[in-house]
């Protein structure tokens, strides 16, 4: 972009890149290293970057003693339910949005942008009151409901992009050949939409898996806490030796999103998602 830079220019560029790599990378290395350090090393006066005596004990401890195992299971349940429900609910609507001229598509997108503007505190109190009224406050079902609604606008927008990528001519050809509307949907649209459904489900899964604020406010029983809330509680417990299991739990909590991003990156580069998630 800058043509051929001078030698000093190149050197400066590499120095800058090194700076970025250190800033971005070292905190991650530190998390990894802490997760594999035995308690002895954690309380050492001068910690080292690389654990001298690595152990997986922290992972075992995080998931047995510290109740992070149960929290991970809770998170898994809630996130899976949110993902499945989001896709089921969004599928028909996104088809309608993509195939029929309607102002609602613009409205859905507008709502995605507008809802970013409002702080959660405005939403959370009425939601809390509504859920309490119907007996769903402090339950996983209530949390799933909120997550689905929260993921829906973006999921609709994403999924209708996938529907648009399916040539309308395919559907028309099938119906000319005598297929009923239901058959067209089942035999033509559904199989072609599968990657989009997976991507939407993953998106919904991850936003539920990472979500903290609603889970913090809505779930009061410690046994029902999701992983981010359990991890945040764990932070409050003082003691340097506990940092190991905390780091181990944090690493495991990151895995699903990392897998999601790897998946999305491949999809993005293959172009099949190009119309759905830009920016």
Partner 1 sequence: MTTLAERPDVERPGPARRPNRFRSDRTAIYLLLLPSLLPILVLSVFPLLRGIYLGFTDARAGRNVEVSFTGLANYRELLGDELFWNSFKIGLLWAVGVTVLQFLLALGLALLLNQQLRFRGVARVLAVVPWAMPPVVVGILWKLVYHPDAGLLNEFFHRIGADGLRTNWLGDFSTALPAVILVGVWAGMPQTTVVLLAGLQGVGRELHEAAAVDGASTWHRFRHVTLPALAPVIVAITSLDFIWNFNSFGLVYVLTAGGPGGKTMLPMLFAYEEAFRYGNYGYAAALGNVMVVLIVALLAVYLRRRLREAN
Site for partner 1 in 39-78 (CB under 8 A): 42-47, 49
Would you give the distance in Å from CA 85 to the centre of its chain?
A: 15
Site string for partner 1, 217-256 (x = CB under 8 A): x----------x--xx--x----x--x--xx--x--xx--
Q: 55: left (phi > 0), else alpha (psi -120 to 50), else beta?
A: beta
The residue within the footprint of partner 1, chosen from 7, 8, 53, 122 (CB under 8 A), is: 122
CA neighbor of 186 nearest in space, from 94, 122, 277, 92: 92
CA neighbor of 75 nearest in space, from 237, 220, 263, 256: 256
Shortest spacing between CB 120 and partner 1, in angstroms:
7
182 binds partner 1 (CB under 8 A): no
275 binds partner 1 (CB under 8 A): yes
User: CB under 8 A: which stretch of 59-67, 76-84, 173-181, 196-204 binds partner 1?
Assistant: 173-181
Site string for partner 1, 4-23 (x = CB under 8 A): -x---x---xx-xx--xx-x
User: CB under 8 A: which stretch of 57-65, 76-84, 103-111, 190-198 binds partner 1?
Assistant: 103-111
2 binds partner 1 (CB under 8 A): yes
Report the interhelical angle of 103-117 vs 140-165 (nearest 10°): 130
Shortest spacing between CB 223 and partner 1, in angstroms:
19
What would the 3-class secondary structure string for 128-184 be?
HHHHHHCCCCCCHHHHHHHHHHHHHHHHHHHHHHHHHHCCHHHHHHHHHCCCCHHHH
Residue whose CB is less far from partner 1, 60 or 129: 129
Collect all residues with Cβ–Cβ distance below 8 Å to 88 and sequence separation of at least 6.
none
Count of residues binding partner 1 (CB under 8 A)? Answer: 100
192 binds partner 1 (CB under 8 A): no
Residue whose CB is less far from partner 1, 80 or 93: 93
Contact 252, 59 (CB under 8 A): yes
Rounded distance between C-alpha atoms, residue 249 and residue 228, angstroms: 10
Site string for partner 1, 131-160 (x = CB under 8 A): --------------xx-xxx-xx--xx---
Residue whose CB is less far from partner 1, 53 or 121: 121
Burial of 163 (0-12, 13-18, 19+ CB in 10 A): buried
User: CB under 8 A: which stretch of 58-66, 76-84, 193-201, 270-278 binds partner 1?
Assistant: 270-278
């Amino acid at each position: 972009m800058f043509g051929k830079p001078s030698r000093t220019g190149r050197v400066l560029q590499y120095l800058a890149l090194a700076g970025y790599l250190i800033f971005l990378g070292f905190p991650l290395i530190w998390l990894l290293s802490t997760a594999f350090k035995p308690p002895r090393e954690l309380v050492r006066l001068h910690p080292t970057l690389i654990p001298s005596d690595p152990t997986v004990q922290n992972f075992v401890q995080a998931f047995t003693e510290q109740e992070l195992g149960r929290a991970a299971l809770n998170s898994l349940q809630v996130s899976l339910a949110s993902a499945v429900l989001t896709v089921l609910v969004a599928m028909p609507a996104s088809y309608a949005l993509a195939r029929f001229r309607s102002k609602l598509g613009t409205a859905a997108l507008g709502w995605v942008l507008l809802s970013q503007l409002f702080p959660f505190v405005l939403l959370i109190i009425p939601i809390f009151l509504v859920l309490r009224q119907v007996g769903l406050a402090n339950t996983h079902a209530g949390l799933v409901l909120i997550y689905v609604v929260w993921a829906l606008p973006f999921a609709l927008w994403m999924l209708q992009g996938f529907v648009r990528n399916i040539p309308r001519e395919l559907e028309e050809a099938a119906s000319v050949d005598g297929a009923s509307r239901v058959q067209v949907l089942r035999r033509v649209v559904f199989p072609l939409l599968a990657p989009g459904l997976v991507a939407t489900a993953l998106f919904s899964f991850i936003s539920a898996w990472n979500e903290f604020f609603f889970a913090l406010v809505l779930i009061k029983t410690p046994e029902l806490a999701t992983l981010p809330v359990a991890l945040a509680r764990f932070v409050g417990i003082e003691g340097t030796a506990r940092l190991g299991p905390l780091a181990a739990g944090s690493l495991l909590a990151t895995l699903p999103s990392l897998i999601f991003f790897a998946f999305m990156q491949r999809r993005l580069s293959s172009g099949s998602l190009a119309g759905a998630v830009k920016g």
